[in-house]
């Protein structure tokens, strides 16, 4: 509600109050005057002749007029006091100017002192006061507080950068550790030199990459290659030994031939002790140089139980860290009968379009449980190894062996001569379009030397 509305309401209230008060006073005065006049008329009619009686009547009328006047003045004075208290709180439009001093006070502004104010006016004033927004001195609105940025955010950015650098550095270190062993060069050599065993080569390289990607291990890497005679087990071992000698040194690579280092079974216990001492010295030297040694055991099917027990103690027992950072490679023809039987019986189901890795993955999946159950019966050492079977070689693989050997010996690689030499090798009956060699590439070197 605006100030003009409140002023007009107050003016109307004051006008009504004055009208009522004036009407009341005029009515009382007229009633008393009329009563006095009527009484005076009656007394004049009855006692017209008496002068004393007339004087007494006149004096009583005068006293009544004076009493009415005093009463009127008292009422007027009280009305002025009430109007003065009302003017201190509300300014009435059209009110006459007052010369008396005005005192601002809230004592007179109470519901009892303003009975004529309606309840709606008071409610509107309360609502207006509640809606009023107070601002600080100066008349300017207060700006909303700015949200300050926490300094901890920069610390968080710094922490993320540090973690990123640490992870990146760790990855770089892993790459450096793998690059030390030049596994890419080893892969190229094995793919070029090993024929017909690409699936087994990929599996062996996968084990080496996973193990050599870090220097800290909880167990050594133990891989056992199994396959019939002539499929390339010894050749693969020689290639691995030559490569690791070039990257870690001659002293950290051991090629152990059982028939050469320990031919007599009576010396098996002494051979086991000497082998344990040799391996301990190599792993200690490798720990000092922060390298991983390689131990290759060829013709593992001829190992005596004492030697197997010594190796099992080194592989299975939880020894110090230097014994955990080592690679053991076993080459044997154990379980070759199962491999030969499986390949001959399942050659017809092998698709010609299947890749070498796909054929080898199927071979590992189907033969690993059979080979493991067979090897467990021989010794507990075979329970700690990862088994990789090597399959039979086909006639095409044998021809590649002749080509490589003739090139090494300086013979002209005549294709007709190679086919003639490959035809002299014994083969299993052709099954499903595959013709497998019984001796693999075992006789290739001897036949080339006869040329």
Which one, of 33, 5, 426, lies nearest residue 229 by Cα?
426
Does 329 share its domain with 418? no
CATH number at residue 198: 3.40.50.300
Q: Output the pLDDT for position 121.
A: 62
Tell me, yes or no, whether 75 lies in a domain.
no
Per-residue pLDDT tens digits for 162-201: 887 777 665 555 555 667 888 889 999 999 999 988 888 9
What value does the mean pLDDT take over residues 358-377? Answer: 84
What value does the mean pLDDT take over residues 83-105? Answer: 54
Tell me, yes or no, whether 152 lies in a domain.
no
Averaged pLDDT of the chain: 77
Does 261 share its domain with 401? no
User: Does this model's pTM top 0.85?
Assistant: no
Lowest mean pLDDT among 273-277, 346-350, 396-400, 416-420: 346-350
What is the domain range of residue 239? 183-391
Per-residue pLDDT tens digits for 69-81: 888 888 888 888 8
Tell me, yes or no, whether 98 lies in a domain.
no
Does 227 share its domain with 318? yes
Lowest mean pLDDT among 7-11, 93-97, 228-232, 394-398: 7-11
Number of domains present in the structure of the chain: 2
Top pLDDT among 124 and 12 is at 124
Does 292 share its domain with 434? no
Q: Output the pLDDT for position 365.
A: 84
Does 346 share its domain with 275? yes
Q: Output the pLDDT for position 171.
A: 54
The percentage of the chain sitting over the pLDDT mark of 70, rounded to a whole number, equals 68
CB 417 within 8 Å of CB 405 = no
pLDDT score of 243 more than 90? yes
Q: Output the pLDDT for position 4.
A: 42
Domain's final residue, options 391, 420, 440: 391
Top pLDDT among 206 and 88 is at 206
Does 439 share its domain with 387? no
Tell me, yes or no, whether 204 lies in a domain.
yes
Would you give the end-to-end CA distance of the chain in angstroms?
126
Q: Output the pLDDT for position 349.
A: 64
Does 432 share its domain with 347? no
Tell me, yes or no, whether 288 lies in a domain.
yes
Tell me, yes or no, whether 91 lies in a domain.
no
Does 427 share its domain with 327? no
CA 331/CA 236 separation, integer angstroms? 9
């Amino acid at each position: 509600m605006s100030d003009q509305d409140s002023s007009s309401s107050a003016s109307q209230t004051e006008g009504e109050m004055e009208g009522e008060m004036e009407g009341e006073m005029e009515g009382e005065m007229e009633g008393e005057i009329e009563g006095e006049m009527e009484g005076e008329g009656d007394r004049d009619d009855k006692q017209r002749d008496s002068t004393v009686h007339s004087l007494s009547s006149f004096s009583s009328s005068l006293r009544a007029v004076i009493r009415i006047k005093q009463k009127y003045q008292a009422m007027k004075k009280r009305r002025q006091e009430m109007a003065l208290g009302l003017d201190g709180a509300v300014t009435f439009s059209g009110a006459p100017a007052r010369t008396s001093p005005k005192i601002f006070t809230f004592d007179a502004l109470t519901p009892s002192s303003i009975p004529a104010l309606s309840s709606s006016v008071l409610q509107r004033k309360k609502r207006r006061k509640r809606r009023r927004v107070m601002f600080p001195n100066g008349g300017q609105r207060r700006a909303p507080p700015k949200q300050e940025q926490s300094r901890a955010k920069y610390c968080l950015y710094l922490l993320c950068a540090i973690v990123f650098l640490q992870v990146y550095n760790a990855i770089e270190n892993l790459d450096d550790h793998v690059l030390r062993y030049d596994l890419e060069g080893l892969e190229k050599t094995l793919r070029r030199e090993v024929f017909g065993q690409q699936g087994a080569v990929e599996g062996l390289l996968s084990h080496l990459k996973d193990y050599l990607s870090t220097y800290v291990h909880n167990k050594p890497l133990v891989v056992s290659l199994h396959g019939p005679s002539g499929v390339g087990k010894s050749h693969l071992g020689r290639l691995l030994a030559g490569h690791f000698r070039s990257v870690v040194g001659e002293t950290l690579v051991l090629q152990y031939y059982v028939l050469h280092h320990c031919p007599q079974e009576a010396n098996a216990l002494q051979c086991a002790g000497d082998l344990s001492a040799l391996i301990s010295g190599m792993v200690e030297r490798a720990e000092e140089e922060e390298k991983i040694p390689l131990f290759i055991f060829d013709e593992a099917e001829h190992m005596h139980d004492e030697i197997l027990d010594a190796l099992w103690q080194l592989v299975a027992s939880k020894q110090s860290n230097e014994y955990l950072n080592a690679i053991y490679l076993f080459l044997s023809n154990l379980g070759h009968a199962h491999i030969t039987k499986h390949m001959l019986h399942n050659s017809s189901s092998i698709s010609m379009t299947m890749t070498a890795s796909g054929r080898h993955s199927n071979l590992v999946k189907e033969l690993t449980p059979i080979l493991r159950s067979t090897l467990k019966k021989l010794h507990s050492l075979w329970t700690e190894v990862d088994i990789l079977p090597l399959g039979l070689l086909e006639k095409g693989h044998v021809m590649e062996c002749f080509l490589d050997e003739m090139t090494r010996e300086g013979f002209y690689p005549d294709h007709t001569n190679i086919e003639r030499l490959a035809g002299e090798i014994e083969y299993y009956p052709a099954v499903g379009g595959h013709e497998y060699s019984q001796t693999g590439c075992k006789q290739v070197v001897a036949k080339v030397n006869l040329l």
